[in-house]
Structure 1
Amino acid sequence: MPRPLALIVDDEPDIRELAQLTLEQMDLEVRTAPDLHTSRALLAAQPFSLCLTDMRLPDGDGLDLVRLMQKHHPDTPVAVITAHGSIETATAALKAGAFDFVTKPVDLHVLRRLVEHALRLSEFPEIDRRSRNTLLGDSSAMQQIRATIVKLARSQAPVYICGESGTGKELIARLIHDKGPRRDRAFVPVNCGAIPTELMESEFFGHKKGSFTGASADKPGLFQAADRGSLFLDEVAELPQHMQVKLLRAIQEKAVRPVGTLREESTDVRILSATHKDLGQLVTDGAFRRDLYYRINVIEVRAPSLRERTEDIPLLVEHTLRRMVGEANPLPRLDDAALAALSAYPFPGNVRELENILERALTLSENDLIGAADLQLPQKSREVQAPTTVEPAQDFELESYLGEVEREVIVKALEKSRYNKTAAAQLLGITFRALRYRLKKLGLE
């Protein structure tokens, strides 16, 4: 088998030589170029398995080479070398299609791992890139999601998955991991809202024996557990401010410091994150750090709600019922009225709610035929009930009455949105900031 061929583009001879020696020790054949002009000629002459380029070149920008590779050599992963601390530059390169980045001074351990991940993209061509049997649906929205997953699997860029609860955000994250070069390493999901605040640093970064009361032994953290794999931060909006700062540093430096130590440990983790909240609005409101938002949101994927893809409901129904009854049993079916009722229902809980509805209907139905009555769908109602009009009496107080009406409407909106303030504000037709003001004024915080 011929050795993989790598292209190194940098105007500094020392860095070219260091990178060349490192890659040759990994049994790669290497070509080097001091500028864009030379690199273009080399790329036109023969195919490469990997390209590593500096961002600043004498005759142009490393981003120009990234874009060229995306257009003419999309199957060749290209990584960029950036100045230390230039995270904005690295983010721009990832958005342009770079596979990954490494900072100066070049850490050879980090460089070797980057090369290993890049080469694995072409080492296993037999891996099935399709996800139609996992992420179900023939709607245009789902076809686009599946196509996006294939592209994202080839990158190491952080991915932010937004969407309502129950839309399958973790499933999307897991597929990105499973289709990429880290697939045989750990996929570590964590619900950021489920970890007690005082234990977060230890859970994420680990701790050493005796570092605090109850630390009876060394314990690795989530970053260590996901080393060379993927860390999925579900409900990332729930992270408190002090952990947002520490997480930002861990992502930027690719290193963590366990509680009770002074030395940082390097980590190789791909960050995938998700939340059902409006993270952009939380940034505007000062509840989420802007720098962390832009670091985890290099590439954004939106998981569509079920009401946006109602044509997928029959397929989802068949798949869910088959999973519930097993392969050996007859498959129950829905009559026309039941299917029509599901297609007209807004599904605030999305696919998760559909599964719950079908499980209940399966219990109530007879003769393997599910009717509309078996579904027990909630009755449609207006988002917010209009207040009842009253006639002022002798002792009537307008301010007190309006306050009670406002309180009742806000409480109903909060209950309807499961106490998601951003969603409640949208129901009420006001801004998140205005809702926070009213909650404080009415003592509802």
Structure 2
Amino acid sequence: MSKQYALVIDDERDIRELLTLTLGRMDLLVETAATVAEARERLAGRRYALCFTDMRLPDGSGQEVIALIAAQYPETPVAMITAYGNVDAAVDALKAGAFDFVSKPVDISVLRRLVQTALKLSEEKRSEQTTSAGKLIGDSVPMNELRATIAKVARSQAPVYIAGESGVGKELVARLIHELGPRSGAPFVPVNCGAIPSELMESEFFGHKKGSFTGAGADKDGLFHAAQGGTLFLDEVAELPMHMQVKLLRVIQEKAVRPIGARAEIGVDVRILSATHKNLARLVELGSFRQDLFYRINVIELRVPPLRDRREDIPKLASRVLERLGKDNGTPPARIEPDALKALLSYDFPGNVRELENVLERSVALCENNSIGLDDLRLAPRERTASAAAEIWANTPTDFGAPPPPVTTRATPPQARDADDDEDDDFPSDLAAAVAETERAAIMKALEATRWNRTAAAKQLGLTLRQLRYRLEKLGIE
């Protein structure tokens, strides 16, 4: 197997010699350049497995080199060498196309991990992209654009912020970014930031030492340690309390964590992906989310389209869901009658793909002869439209101070009755079923009005979260 070449661009001889020695011990052939002009000549004459460039060069900047490589040599991973603590320059480099950065003075262990990651970027990936991208179902223009963007950002080590409504598949997108990138062989650790009690958050994220607080009976590794070498996915990042936002910002800047009770920081090599269904930029304006942290985690923003913006994907999605349900139940996949499919195509799906899955699972349980008709879908009333969902996204989330939007009901005009009609004609024959259906409709409407935020829906219904969970389980709503 032929050896691979690396290019080091820096006007400081000491840095060039240090990197040449370190990379040479990793079985790489190293060439160097001291200026942008020399770098252009080197890049034109040879294919490099990776490249390092200093931020400041005598005849230009490292940004120029990064832009050149991104445009003309996209198969070559490039990392920026920055001054210690100059995170702004590092962020700019990541936005320009660098896959990572290393600070001066160069830490050899950090450098070696970075090189190992970069070399993986120079290999493989076509087959991985084909199989992994297939998990995103749909051939619509928005989905094809999303797949193409995922393939690009997977090469980078830059933090990615995944925006989108509840139920669109933000965690699936995060997993694909991880699987298509050079960290695919390392852990992918998802964490719901809203599910961790505030007082336990620091211990969960950073770990703790034995005896550091009451109940700390043994050393514990945190989530950053669990994701070492891989990806940490911060779902519902908007739920982080302010004190944790400060600590997370420092970790991203310094690439190190300090467990509770520890005397020294521990270096971490973790890529940060984050997501929320809330309008994070709006929360920054309101002062509930730190602007500096928002800029750090939002180096690359990836917006996942809602299902109503890609309705042509609904038949294929429905077919895949029904295949899975049939396999789980040990039966052939259920069929969707034309009128039912037409209703699905015209429905706005405020709960997106997750709601589609719930609707189909309920329909399979209710339908006769394994054929789903219009009545089996039991779609929610259409008062809540796409414009209403867009308004929720654009404004302050309902569980952030503002009262939840009212649940609107449509009054039914009284019907004329003959004098000899039996007064009990409209009384349900099965009272329990009627009550359950009424309760189901009220809960579904509250969930939709709060974009499937259970905490906000429970508040709107006048229930505790535990009571709502009980009712969801009882009524078979997932």
- Tell me what 1:105 maps to: 105
Any gaps of 5 or more consecutive residues in structure 2?
386-401, 409-444, 458-478
- From the superposition, tell whether residues 7 and 323 of structure 1 become closer, same or farther in structure 2 (CA, over 3 Å): same
- Structure 2 equivalent of residue 266 of structure 1: 267
The answer to whether the 8 Å contact 1:127/1:179 transfers is: no
Do 2:167 and 2:355's aligned partners in 1 also have CA atoms closer than 8 Å? yes
**Equivalent in the alignment of 1:53:** 53
2: CA distance between counterparts of 1:382 and 1:354? 16
| 1:140-159 Cα deviation digits (max 9, x unpaired) | 10101111111111111100
The structure-2 alpha-carbon separation of the partners of 1:225 and 1:132, relative to structure 1 and needing over 3 Å to count, comes to closer
Q: Which residue of 2 aligns with 1:247?
A: 248
Query: Aligned partners of 1:192 and 1:27: how far apart in 2?
Result: 42
What pairs with 1:133-282 in structure 2 (closer than 5 Å)? 133-282=134-283
Per the TM alignment, residue 326 of structure 1 is displaced from its structure 2 partner at its CA by 0.9
How far off its partner does 1:123 sit?
Answer: 3.2
Residues in 2 aligned to 1:412 and 1:356: alpha-carbon distance in whole angstroms:
21
Q: Assess, with a 3 A threshold, how the Cα gap between structure 1 residues 408 and 144 changes in structure 2: closer, same or farther.
A: closer
Amino acid at match of 1:66: I
What are the superposed Cα offsets for residues 379-412 of structure 1, whole Å, 9 maximum, x if unpaired?
12267xxxxxxxxxxxxxxxxxxxxxxx999544
Residue 107 (structure 1) shift: 1.0
Find the aligned partners of 2:337 and 2:126 in 1 and give their Cα distance.
41
Q: CA deviation at 1:84?
A: 1.3
Deviations 1:54-113 (A, max 9, x none): 010000010000010011100000000111121111111111111110111111111111
Match for 1:207: what amino acid?
H
Deviates most, 121-130 or 187-196: 121-130
Q: If the length of structure 2 is used for normalisation, what is the TM-score?
A: 0.81
- One-letter code of the match for 1:364? L
Cα root mean square deviation, aligned: 1.9
411-420 or 26-35, larger mean C-alpha shift: 411-420
Give the distance between the partners of 1:92 and 1:251, measured in 2 at CA. Answer: 15
Report % sequence identity. Answer: 60
Partners in 2 of 1:87 and 1:49 — Cα distance? Answer: 25
Verify the 8 A CA contact 2:84 2:105 in the aligned structure 1: yes
Distance 1:409 1:230 in 2: 35
Q: Which residue of 1 aligns with 2:377?
A: 375
Residue of structure 1 in register with 2:450 after alignment: 417
Q: Residue 98 of structure 2: SS of its match in structure 1?
A: coil
CA offset at residue 129 of structure 1? Answer: 1.1
Displacement after TM superposition at 1:341 (Å) = 0.5
Deviation per residue, 1:295-317 (Å, 9 max, x gap):
00000000110001000000000
Shift of 1:125: 4.5
Unpaired segments ≥5 residues, structure 1: 384-406, 425-445
Match of 2:318 in 1: 317
Correspondence for 1:364:
366
- State TM-score, norm by structure 1: 0.87
1:332 CA displacement: 1.4
Letter in 1 for 2:364: L
Secondary structure of the residue aligned to 1:31 is strand
For the residues of structure 2 that align with 1:418 and 1:52, how far apart are their CA atoms? 45
2:115 aligned partner, one-letter code: V
List aligned pairs for 1:271-420, cutoff 5 A: 271-326=272-327, 329-381=331-383, 410-412=405-407, 415=446, 416-417=449-450
Quote the Cα distance in structure 2 between the aligned partners of 1:373 and 1:257: 57
